[in-house]
Chain A
Amino acid sequence: MLKKLLLLETQGQKSLRSAVTACVLTGLSLMIPFAITVQVFLELLKPLTGEPVSWNRMWLLFGIGLAAFVVIFFLSRHDYKKTYVASYGQSESTRLRVAEQMRKLPMSFFNSRNLTELSSNIMTDCTNIETSMSNIVPQLIANVITSTLVCAMLAVFDWRMALSMFIMLPVSALVLLLSRRLQSRMFSRHVEARLDAEKQTQEYLDGIKVIRACGLGGERFQALNHAFLELKRAAVQVELASGSLMALSTIFLRSGIGIVAFVGVNLIASGQIDFLVLLMFLLIASRIYGPILTVLTMLPDLLYLKVSTARLRTLMESRPMAGRNDVALTDTGLCFDRVSFSYQKDTVLKDVSFTAKQGEVTALVGPSGSGKSTISRLAARFWDADSGTVRLGGIDVKDIEPETLMRNFSFVFQDVTLFNDTIEENIRFGRPDASEEEIRAAARAACCDEFIERMPEGYKTMLGENGATLSGGERQRISIARALLKDAPVIILDEATASLDPENEVFVQQAINRLVEGKTVLVIAHRLRTIAGADHIVVLEKGRVTEQGTHEELMSRHGLYEHLYSIQRKNAAWELA
């Protein structure tokens, strides 16, 4: 259970085990001072029975105590070290495994809206695991073990006294157990509130331009303010509930010391136990509850961990897409054969069939929401089709391992993701082993050269988070340079020239012409004039192919294509009033 909760693997289990062992050893060593104290008591009480105190024996006990002090020091240092090494090691390996897992998950997992949530939660989840490994789990197990040992020993001494010492333990534990459901619900609400606040924060930061333009800074932005207030409320509630329950169970448990006193006094007065037993039990009663309470206090934390790592576990349990990685392709034409696909509940594609031949340009057109982009994503296995097959060079793409498959594709998307690295490295993404010369050649072909040279350090200029300093057209051209460098046989252009100014557009157009030469090209474009020269045009409406053919064929059919085309001609002539 712990293994699952903490996402442990063999190495992690091993180091956790040694951390627990270290903690148990420390726990046991902490009993030595207690044993010596009892001995000191016995020695001091001797005069009561007429014997003299042996001061030499007292010095001896002191000496043993000093030795024990040294032992405790080393053991607790050992356990401190073991615990932290185990926990940091474990969280490092969890973080890495999560990152590794993400590489293998299907693209569909990376729905743009979830990204911030994903990244933040994974890191926080890992940190939570880290703290519970260092501060909770080993101590918890060690305390359980040492407390049980003490219980057993006491029962041997006198079962009636042992019973009175622990009689309240079940009551106390029951309080916590009964409240578990309530707590669990509150924890989930708290986690939810926290996530929501984080999400709203990210949105606030991402949308800061709009926020400012609408004059909605700080608490004036309702959604964020609500999220913060809700977080505050949920947090106070969790504390109130778990705090009160904890206080209640503490009182129950610790009242055992009173019970020991009642029972002990009666037993000793009636001569059933001697002074030594009473003394021992009183001494232990004043110490034993601390560690047990620690266990009880930590339980809610573990519970919280279970809730907060749920997402992480889901992620780790998701299945990566399978496929072979030794596929040899002779042809790189794409063929959609009666493909249907739904996203969540909505049907996006229905019975779509068409062929995009190698060396030809195939255009996908249709109103927004007709499924154009989905087609390009199915080809590269961002998702797998629900029914029907997508073939690349005659092979079902489901049989090809996603990363292998991806080697055959180059994408130029409307929104370009850049990395916080130099321009050169950003282009090198296309092909990691490209030489500096090849990178420059690709940049020149993609018409990037001119603006890169203008930058303060040319190709070595750092771009900042997601290349915030570049214009849309410049980003677009970098992504084309990447694609040129990659030189994959299938090119997918998804509304690549949508957001460009005229100057940029001409450059990007030139770049695209160089990119698509001799390739299998799938192009999605708003502006029909840009694809009118395509070899094959597929018209989509509501997820179905309604017509296909060349521009001339489609125009003569007077269908949707002709309709869209004529609207656009009108738009092109649009002018301000």
Chain B
Amino acid sequence: MANRKKEQGGMSRLFALASGHKGLLTASGILAALAAAASFVPYLAVYWIIRDVIAVYPDFSALQVETVAGYGWIAIAGIAADALCFLASSICAHIAAFGTQYELKTAFTRHLAKVPLGFHLTLGSGRLRKVIDEDIDKIEKFLAHSYPDMVASFTAPAVLLVLLFVFDWRFGLAALAAVILAFAIQMMTIGKAGPEVMQEIQKSSADMTEASVEYIRGMPVLKAFGQTARSFRQLKDSIAAYTKIMLSYTLKWENYMAAFTAIINNIYLFLLPVGILIGQGTEDYASFLLSFLFYLLFTPAVASVLNKFMYVSSSSMRIAGGVANFDAMMALPELPEVENSSVPQKTDVVFQNVSFSYDGSEHKALDGVSFTAPEGQITAVVGPSGGGKSTIAHLIPRFWDVQSGSISIGNTDIRNLSEETLMGQVSFVFQDVYLFGQSILESIRMGRPDATEDEVIRAAKAAMCHEFIARLPKGYDTVFGEEGVHLSGGEAQRISIARAILQDAPILVLDEATAFADPENEQQIQAALKELMKGKTVLMIAHRLGTVRTADQILVMENGRLAEYGAHQTLLERNGTYTRMWERYTQSLTWGIGRKEETHA
């Protein structure tokens, strides 16, 4: 499937992406062609006027004023038809384009929620956002603007072909030759930009975006270390590189563009020698004169239609890069998912010989790990950083899939659970709480989108959030980040606990959930957690050993392996890694900053 997508060229792939709007696009194309055809009408009217005047020459008083005025009306009708058809075509195209844009953006974000989380880490948000903000927008712009223009410009040669038969074919042929030449020149420009060049441009533009994101994001640090100049240099280089490549790319077309402009404004030069040759030998000067005049009058009409074609070719080249980039991202394999699955009866979490390493790393983050987190009990996971604790927490929601072994909930492999079922079974509280720029109410409601306001408030109360939320300027409707509302780490943590309470899944995964708490918060988080953990199967990743001492079971992870496990006392008696960690922990409790060495703990 992915391969077939790649084989399609930019343009046809583009229309495949917009296939949901075939009707609108077809309508837009037809209307654009009609508009282009109507744009010839005023020229025809002018021709008729001149023809009538010549017919009475030099006795102008014999002129049929009404008839000639009628031509004037025809011209105006043509103009109106042109403008209205163009408008209608443009509206159809825009609706199709914005619809496509919306669908692609949604499809892309949906896709992003299903690829392994590692892609987010390795690609970085800058590159992913570029697809949404730029590549997809390019597709939209092409459909909305370039596509109708393209159809319109193809109408010109068609109209000329018709006129071939109506008037003198020799002039028709000469004019057609000019049009074909102009087209050929545009086509040559398309062939000239290879995919490598486009890729280079894409890359340098992405580089520039990334450099600027990093520059701005890092500004506090850059300033703190007086390093703005250095990072500025990096940004400067990327900007210069972008400018250079864009300029050299654009200037490649200077001859083609100039030739195109010169030709479409000089179509009469193609007609002139033909006219002279025919005129010199003609018997019937009057009819020769009329058809020659007709073509001379007509050329500017052709020029104005062709003018639209000018930017079509370059934008169609640019679109190819955008489409390719979009497709490449969409081709990243999603984690396989089953559609429907029954809810497991039991809620114990079993790791069976699980091995896993992060992308491209030879180091095994987990190496043959087996354990059971029994239903309704608390299982704590401890160990030095890099030991694999967080990996365990990340594999359960399927941020990644295991490479060997299996993880199951109540005897069902989690890969055989639909996303919905899995998320219904497990709720998570992570160390790094991310709050979206939405109201507190919505933020908590993420745990269960159909929860009523009352339920949200009840969850907030249970998570000890209600009090501080009530103090906010607009209570539950306060939007995070607006009006200078920022929550402390501990408060944010409690919001995420409220979310989990609302979700009320039988299994709970806590990833270092008390990390950012300040003293008063910590007490409340602890109370909130107690509420949350009631009767659940809990898997708790922790670094403060004090908090896990009474867990039913403690797993000690070291270098990706399960080094030892058991209850606190059992582990202490074994005198292994856990004992060492416990000693360190008690030692860290007595540390204090400052010159006095006495302890106060």
Q: Which residues of the other chain, A, contact B231 by a CB distance below 8 angstroms?
A: 419
Instruction: Report whether A407 and B226 are in contact in the complex, using a CB–CB cutoff of 8 Å.
Output: yes
Instruction: Report whether A211 and B72 are in contact in the complex, using a CB–CB cutoff of 8 Å.
Output: no
A351-398 at interface with B (beta carbon < 8 Å): 361, 363, 367-369, 380, 382
Instruction: Report whether A208 and B46 are in contact in the complex, using a CB–CB cutoff of 8 Å.
Output: no
* A546 contacts partner chain B, Cβ-Cβ < 8 Å: no
Instruction: Report whether A47 and B285 are in contact in the complex, using a CB–CB cutoff of 8 Å.
Output: yes
Residue of chain A at shortest CB distance from B429: A213
A504-554 at interface with B (beta carbon < 8 Å): 504-506, 509, 512-513, 516, 521, 523, 525-535, 551
In angstroms, how far is the closest chain A Cβ from the Cβ of B213?
A: 5
Q: Give me 6 other A-B pairs in contact (C-beta within 8 A), A264-B49, A269-B65 excluded.
A: A33-B266, A58-B272, A84-B251, A240-B94, A247-B86, A411-B224
Instruction: Report whether A502 and B83 are in contact in the complex, using a CB–CB cutoff of 8 Å.
Output: no
Instruction: Report whether A466 and B581 are in contact in the complex, using a CB–CB cutoff of 8 Å.
Output: no
Residue of chain B at shortest CB distance from A81: B254
* A295 contacts partner chain B, Cβ-Cβ < 8 Å: no
Instruction: Report whether A257 and B594 are in contact in the complex, using a CB–CB cutoff of 8 Å.
Output: no
* B4 contacts partner chain A, Cβ-Cβ < 8 Å: no
Per-residue CB contact flags for chain B residues 120-145 toward chain A (1 = under 8 Å, else 0) read: 11101110110011000000000010
Instruction: Report whether B49 and A486 are in contact in the complex, using a CB–CB cutoff of 8 Å.
Output: no
Bound CA–CA A40/B299 (angstroms): 14
Bound CA–CA A513/B595 (angstroms): 9
Q: Which residues of the other chain, B, contact A521 by a CB distance below 8 angstroms?
A: 593
Instruction: Report whether B75 and A257 are in contact in the complex, using a CB–CB cutoff of 8 Å.
Output: yes
Instruction: Report whether B71 and A261 are in contact in the complex, using a CB–CB cutoff of 8 Å.
Output: yes
**Could you say which of B72, B297, B449 contacts A222, with CB atoms under 8 Å apart?**
B449
Across chains A and B, which 4 residue pairs bring their CB atoms closest together, nearest first? A217-B113, A218-B110, A501-B543, A77-B258
In angstroms, how far is the closest chain B Cβ from the Cβ of A226?
A: 10
Q: Which residues of the other chain, B, contact A36 by a CB distance below 8 angstroms?
A: 268
* A37 contacts partner chain B, Cβ-Cβ < 8 Å: yes
**Could you say which of A59, A80, A473, A527 contacts B254, with CB atoms under 8 Å apart?**
A80
Q: Which residues of the other chain, B, contact A577 by a CB distance below 8 angstroms?
A: 530, 533, 550
Query: A345-B484, A432-B230 given as contacts; is B90 within 8 A of A239 (CB)?
Result: yes
Bound CA–CA A91/B113 (angstroms): 36
Q: Which residues of the other chain, A, contact B292 by a CB distance below 8 angstroms?
A: 44
Query: A209-B430, A432-B230 given as contacts; is B257 within 8 A of A531 (CB)?
Result: no
Q: Which of A59, A222, A268 has the most CB of B within 10 A?
A: A268
Q: Which residues of the other chain, B, contact A107 by a CB distance below 8 angstroms?
A: 219-220, 223
Q: Which residues of the other chain, A, contact B235 by a CB distance below 8 angstroms?
A: 99
Q: Which residues of the other chain, A, contact B588 by a CB distance below 8 angstroms?
A: 502, 505-506, 509
In angstroms, how far is the closest chain B Cβ from the Cβ of A262?
A: 5
Residue of chain B at shortest CB distance from A432: B230
Q: Which residues of the other chain, B, contact A464 by a CB distance below 8 angstroms?
A: 121-122, 124
Instruction: Report whether A243 and B90 are in contact in the complex, using a CB–CB cutoff of 8 Å.
Output: yes
Q: Which of A61, A197, A207, A482 has the most CB of B within 10 A?
A: A207
**Could you say which of B83, B226, B227 contacts A250, with CB atoms under 8 Å apart?**
B83
A64-104 at interface with B (beta carbon < 8 Å): 65-66, 68-69, 72-74, 76-77, 80-81, 84-85, 88-89, 91-92, 95-96, 99-100, 102-103
Chain B interface helix/strand/loop/mixed: helix
Q: Which residues of the other chain, A, contact B434 by a CB distance below 8 angstroms?
A: 206-207, 209-210
Instruction: Report whether A498 and B516 are in contact in the complex, using a CB–CB cutoff of 8 Å.
Output: yes
Residue of chain A at shortest CB distance from B389: A501
Instruction: Report whether B272 and A61 are in contact in the complex, using a CB–CB cutoff of 8 Å.
Output: yes
Instruction: Report whether A534 and B594 are in contact in the complex, using a CB–CB cutoff of 8 Å.
Output: yes
Residue of chain A at shortest CB distance from B127: A465
* B215 contacts partner chain A, Cβ-Cβ < 8 Å: yes
* A328 contacts partner chain B, Cβ-Cβ < 8 Å: no
In angstroms, how far is the closest chain B Cβ from the Cβ of A100?
A: 7
In angstroms, how far is the closest chain B Cβ from the Cβ of A435?
A: 17
Instruction: Report whether A572 and B109 are in contact in the complex, using a CB–CB cutoff of 8 Å.
Output: no
Stretch in contact with the other chain, from B12-20, B50-58, B322-330? B50-58
Stretch in contact with the other chain, from A3-11, A145-153, A279-287, A438-446? A279-287
Number of interface residues of A (CB under 8 A): 199
Per-residue CB contact flags for chain A residues 410-451 toward chain B (1 = under 8 Å, else 0) read: 110010010110000000011010000000000000000001
Q: Which residues of the other chain, A, contact B484 by a CB distance below 8 angstroms?
A: 343-346
Q: Which residues of the other chain, A, contact B516 by a CB distance below 8 angstroms?
A: 414, 498-499
Instruction: Report whether B251 and A81 are in contact in the complex, using a CB–CB cutoff of 8 Å.
Output: yes
Instruction: Report whether B304 and A290 are in contact in the complex, using a CB–CB cutoff of 8 Å.
Output: yes
Instruction: Report whether B386 and A516 are in contact in the complex, using a CB–CB cutoff of 8 Å.
Output: no
**Could you say which of A343, A498, A503 contacts B515, with CB atoms under 8 Å apart?**
A498
Bound CA–CA A482/B397 (angstroms): 36
Instruction: Report whether A224 and B109 are in contact in the complex, using a CB–CB cutoff of 8 Å.
Output: yes
Q: Which residues of the other chain, A, contact B53 by a CB distance below 8 angstroms?
A: 268, 275, 278
B111-166 at interface with A (beta carbon < 8 Å): 111-114, 117, 120-122, 124-126, 128-129, 132-133, 144
Residue of chain A at shortest CB distance from B216: A119
* B259 contacts partner chain A, Cβ-Cβ < 8 Å: yes
Instruction: Report whether A432 and B227 are in contact in the complex, using a CB–CB cutoff of 8 Å.
Output: yes
Bound CA–CA A283/B46 (angstroms): 8
Bound CA–CA A540/B432 (angstroms): 27
Bound CA–CA A244/B598 (angstroms): 80
Bound CA–CA A229/B549 (angstroms): 50
Instruction: Report whether B221 and A113 are in contact in the complex, using a CB–CB cutoff of 8 Å.
Output: no
Q: Which residues of the other chain, A, contact B54 by a CB distance below 8 angstroms?
A: 45, 48
